Structure 1
Amino acid sequence: MGYSVRQIAEALDAEAFGDLSLTITSAAEPATAKATDLALALGPSYAAAIPQGDAKVAVVWPGCDWQSYGLEAAIVAPRGRLAMAHLTQLLDTDFDISNGVHPSAVIEPGASIGENVSVGPFSFIAAGAVIGDGTRIASHVSVGPDTKIGDGCVLLDGVRIMRRSRLGDRVVIHPNSVIGADGFSWVTRTPSNFERMGKGVKEMRLDAPEDAKQHRIHSLGGVVIGNDVEIGALTAVDAGTIRATQVGDGCKMDNLVQVGHNVILGRDCVLAAKVAIAGSTVVGDRVMLGGRSAVRDNLTIGQDAVITGASVVLSDVPKGAIMMGHPARERHEEFQTMKELRRLPRLRQMISDLQKSVSKTSHND
């Protein structure tokens, strides 16, 4: 199946020039593009690669002299990545989940299944689960008791939806993620060394605790996930202890993300790969956390804050702040520290030279 240049331009809400009737079947990088491909030349840095391929049409940047590159048509995209989002949505095939309920799927009596629901091979839906209309469940998925899955959701291979979880509409969860497992919550009969450390003990070394046996605090609160949330592969959102862990509408999580028990994520947050948020932290709307960043428990991250990659947040973050480093500080403070650190070798040399000068003067005296 192909699309005309005119159809693609309309889908991208962009201007098109040249022969708008040309048919496009796929997208490609400029240097490897075939005649029926749409070359993605989103900025001037791609210009040299356009003649290397055979594309007749390209998505180009504003002001590009597209005809000089031998193209027969062009789509001008002021915001290249947004154009790529619309284009990939147009060209992508749907998730490969067969219609209907596979004979090997197990749906217990008492489960409520909506209209036009698909359930793949070897998947399991427990009694008391509610599956909304049009939801598609791939193979080897398990949906626990007292769960509710909204309309139009997609649960891909190996996903686990544990008891007392609630998913809104149009939620997409990628393979092998777990929603609603017990949180990591333990307590000892007498204060553990971790507790003692947190209370400001001054000993250089801690003695063995009186009773180190760990007693599990069970998670009774479940998880509530809003509408239009997408969760990457191998990600875990733990159940709350008493109240539910909450993920707001529109949140997007990458692979290998950990959201601890009792965490509250606001709307439209973005969590990159390997982000870890410890229990009971509250994250405001539209917060962005870079890859491998970590957030301590019981903190508040203000709305619109940005936590850069590999940062470690150990204290509350103000609204709209940009945080960097370990421990994370506001960007201007971290940049100042970096500048001072770069000066250290020069300062060390200056001190060494002064010491030599003083020593030489003292020797001459």
Structure 2
Amino acid sequence: MTYTIEKIAKAIGASAHGEITLTVTSVAEPANAERGQLALAMKPEFAAQLGEGRAEAAMLWEGADWQALGLKAAIISPRPRFAMAGLSAMMDPEPQRTAGIHPSAVIDPSATLGADVTIGPLSVIEAGARIGAGTRISAQVFVGRDAQIGDHAILREGVKIGARVRIGARFIAQPGASVGGDGFSFVTPEEGAVERVRDTLGAQGAAQAQSWARIHSLGSVQIGDDVELGANSCIDRGTVRDTVIGNGCKFDNLAQIGHNVVIGRDCLICAQVGVAGSTRIGNNVVLGGQTGVSDNVFIGDNVITGGATKVLSNVPAGRVMLGYPAVKMDKQIELHKLLRRLPRLFGDVAALQKGVSKPRGND
């Protein structure tokens, strides 16, 4: 599709400048942009690359001198990265699917489908499932018995939704995401080595080989509105009560949420994060990539963890954490600086020891 600079700016709440009737069909990075594309020069360092491309229009930051950059037109936003949300939605080339059910889809007669639902090839909708209006289900998707999915959801290829899972409106699941698998719950007939290590913080005692008995997951999963799951991310069902995900949470690829976990509103869970069972997470929490969270801990509102942080105990609201085990980020950086100085410190100590132990001459 073709858009004028004026139309784009109006749609995303930005201001249009110059030849506002100039048209573009797509977006590009400044150095690669051709005529007819909108260059995304949202920072001065990006704008410096405009001369390498052929763009006549660009999205710029507030206060940018678009004329000095040699442009015919510009879209200026006080927060260009946020404006990208609306711009990317306009420019998304994914074709709009027409409503309909593919002949190869298997849908139980007792399932309920809302208006304008699309169901792709080889998908399965089990008995009692309820699919909200306008939902788009791609190929090879499974929706389990008595599951509920709200209006205008998008389930990409290979998504699996387990039995009794309840999901709100505008849910998005990227390829391979799984909701409602059983939790990782196993127990030995007698107290095992793992339990003793947990109690003693290291000592196994007289460990005996034992087989693991499976604890079945009787709960399910509740997911609020406007939640998005990344590719191959997993949310396990609860053991007795449900696992709960609040409104507005966003999960990156390969995130793993264990049984009985409760996550508040508008949390950002980055790639390869693992949250162990029965942990509670507050609102507006950001867990950086590869963060690991131990079981049965509490993380307060507005906590942020850096990449690869390992949370082993409760974290009060508002903390910024880093490291293994997690400590306040400024403290972790201080510890890292001290660690780097250790070789020099050992060298100084060795020199002092040598000086002290050197035999004295006769007085």
Q: State the TM bucket, normalised to the shorter chain.
A: over 0.9
Structure 2 CA distance, aligned partners of 1:226 and 1:156? 18
Show the counterpart of 1:200: 200
Q: What is the one-letter code of the residue matched to 1:212? A: Q
Identity of matched residues, %: 48
> 1:195-234 alignment to 2 at 5 Å?
195-200=195-200, 203=203, 206-209=205-208, 212-234=210-232
Show the counterpart of 1:240: 238
Runs of 4+ in structure 1 displaced over 4 angstroms? 94-98
Structure 2 CA distance, aligned partners of 1:246 and 1:94? 31
Structure 2 CA distance, aligned partners of 1:243 and 1:24? 52
Deviations 1:73-122 (A, max 9, x none): 11122222112222101111346644201111011121111111111110
Structure 1 CA distance, aligned partners of 2:90 and 2:8? 8
Classify the secondary structure of the residue corresponding to 2:277: coil
Show the counterpart of 2:143: 143
Structure 1 CA distance, aligned partners of 2:104 and 2:351? 80
Structure 2 CA distance, aligned partners of 1:325 and 1:364? 54
Report the Cα offset of residue 343 of structure 1: 2.2
Report the Cα offset of residue 197 of structure 1: 0.9
Classify the secondary structure of the residue corresponding to 1:69: coil
Structure 1 CA distance, aligned partners of 2:127 and 2:290? 38
Show the counterpart of 1:112: 112
Show the counterpart of 2:321: 323
Q: What is the one-letter code of the residue matched to 1:208? A: A
Classify the secondary structure of the residue corresponding to 2:336: helix
Q: What is the one-letter code of the residue matched to 2:81? A: R
> 1:250-269 alignment to 2 at 5 Å?
250-269=248-267
Show the counterpart of 1:85: 85
Q: 1:214 to 1:153 in 2, by over 3 A?
A: same
Q: 1:46 to 1:242 in 2, by over 3 A?
A: same
Q: What is the one-letter code of the residue matched to 1:256? A: L
Structure 2 CA distance, aligned partners of 1:287 and 1:24? 38
Show the counterpart of 2:358: 360
Show the counterpart of 1:305: 303
Q: 1:62 to 1:362 in 2, by over 3 A?
A: farther
Deviations 1:207-240 (A, max 9, x none): 332x611111111110000000010110100000
Q: What is the one-letter code of the residue matched to 2:129? A: A
Q: 1:363 to 1:8 in 2, by over 3 A?
A: farther
Structure 2 CA distance, aligned partners of 1:179 and 1:306? 25
Deviations 1:16-41 (A, max 9, x none): 21111100110001111011000011
Classify the secondary structure of the residue corresponding to 1:189: coil
Judge which range, 342-351 or 164-173, deviates more: 342-351
Deviations 1:144-202 (A, max 9, x none): 10211111111111011111100111101111111000000001110110001112177
Structure 1 CA distance, aligned partners of 2:257 and 2:356? 58
User: Matched residue pairs, number?
Assistant: 363
Structure 1 CA distance, aligned partners of 2:29 and 2:120? 35
Deviations 1:281-318 (A, max 9, x none): 00000100000110000000001000111000000010
Q: 1:360 to 1:25 in 2, by over 3 A?
A: same
Q: 1:83 to 1:202 in 2, by over 3 A?
A: closer
Q: 1:202 to 1:180 in 2, by over 3 A?
A: closer
The answer to whether 1:287 aligns with 2:285 is: yes
TM-score by length of 1: 0.96
The answer to whether 1:51 aligns with 2:51 is: yes
Structure 2 CA distance, aligned partners of 1:265 and 1:94? 31
Judge which range, 110-119 or 275-284, deviates more: 110-119
Show the counterpart of 2:162: 162
Structure 2 CA distance, aligned partners of 1:322 and 1:169? 31
Contact 1:97 1:138 in 2 (8 A): no
Deviations 1:121-140 (A, max 9, x none): 10000011111111111110
The answer to whether 1:67 aligns with 2:36 is: no
Question: Where does structure 2 lack aligned partners over 5 or more consecutive residues?
Answer: none
Classify the secondary structure of the residue corresponding to 1:340: helix
Question: Where does structure 1 lack aligned partners over 5 or more consecutive residues?
Answer: none
Structure 1 CA distance, aligned partners of 2:273 and 2:202? 32
TM-score by length of 2: 0.96
Q: 1:97 to 1:139 in 2, by over 3 A?
A: farther
Judge which range, 176-185 or 84-93, deviates more: 84-93
Structure 1 CA distance, aligned partners of 2:130 and 2:212? 36
Structure 1 CA distance, aligned partners of 2:245 and 2:9? 35
Structure 2 CA distance, aligned partners of 1:82 and 1:104? 41
Deviations 1:230-279 (A, max 9, x none): 10110100000111000100000001000000000100000110000000
The answer to whether 1:100 aligns with 2:100 is: yes
Q: What is the one-letter code of the residue matched to 2:317? A: K
Classify the secondary structure of the residue corresponding to 2:101: coil
Structure 2 CA distance, aligned partners of 1:195 and 1:330? 29
